[in-house]
Amino acid sequence: MTTEVSVTVNGETYHVPDVEPRLLLSDFLRDLLGLTGTHVGCEHGVCGACTVLVNGDSVRSCLMLAVQANGAEIITVEGLGSPEELNVLQTEFREHHGLQCGFCTPGMLMTGEDLLRKYPLATDEDIREGLSGNLCRCTGYQNIVAAIRSAAVKRTEKAS
């Protein structure tokens, strides 16, 4: 039994026929849509590398089935900015050396986007708490926190 899944990803609409109900959203994005920016680190919802935004909320794409995303609007790391034109958060990650191997980075960025959009992030502890569902093994988090802090400041400046 298969079904068609229609989704909008990064502003582009896809109608994908013959999707198995058991197919993970992460595999759907990577293998069927070719969007390999979303990384799979644990497949049990702990590491956060596969985080994407589904209808504006951060979601672990390894814990969601593709069929559940039918009709949804999804943003992946590919939807944030391009190598030539990084968005604010991506720019701050680069400025503050918030990434090393880059594997957890797409998940960090998507969680970071979600945090920046929804929360005031008054203290660095708030940022660390917000990131507690995303594991990084390279950076010790210090520069990721600094990057999100800086992006938060830039967003506030822009808004005022």
Contact string (CB under 8 A) for another protein, positions 20-39, x = contact = x-xx------x---xxxxxx
Kindly state whether residue 117 participates in binding another protein, applying the rule CB under 8 A.
no
Contact string (CB under 8 A) for another protein, positions 118-137, x = contact = ------xx-xxx-xxxxxxx
Which of 65, 72, 104, 151 binds another protein (CB under 8 A)? It is 104
The residue whose two tokens read 């593709």 is 66
Write down the least CB distance from residue 134 to another protein, Å.
8
- Burial class of residue 151 in the structure, from the number of CB atoms within 10 Å of its CB (0-12 exposed, 13-18 middle, 19+ buried): buried
Write down the least CB distance from residue 47 to another protein, Å.
6
Kindly state whether residue 142 participates in binding another protein, applying the rule CB under 8 A.
yes
Which of 6, 55, 71, 97 binds another protein (CB under 8 A)? It is 97
Q: Do the beta carbons of residue 49 and residue 26 sit within 8 Å? A: no
- The sheet with strand 73-75 has its strands ordered as 12-19, 3-9, 73-75, 51-54, 57-60
Kindly state whether residue 5 participates in binding another protein, applying the rule CB under 8 A.
no
Measured CA distances, 10 to 14, 29, 53, 139 (Å) = 10, 11, 10, 28
Q: Do the beta carbons of residue 110 and residue 78 sit within 8 Å? A: no
Which of 105, 121, 150, 152 binds another protein (CB under 8 A)? It is 105
Q: Which residues contact 2 (CB under 8 A, 6 or more apart)?
A: 17, 18, 19, 20, 21
Which of 51, 58, 90, 150 binds another protein (CB under 8 A)? It is 90
**Interaction site with another protein (CB under 8 A):** 20, 22-23, 30, 34-44, 46-47, 49, 76-78, 80-84, 86, 90, 93-95, 97, 99-106, 109, 124-125, 127-129, 131-145
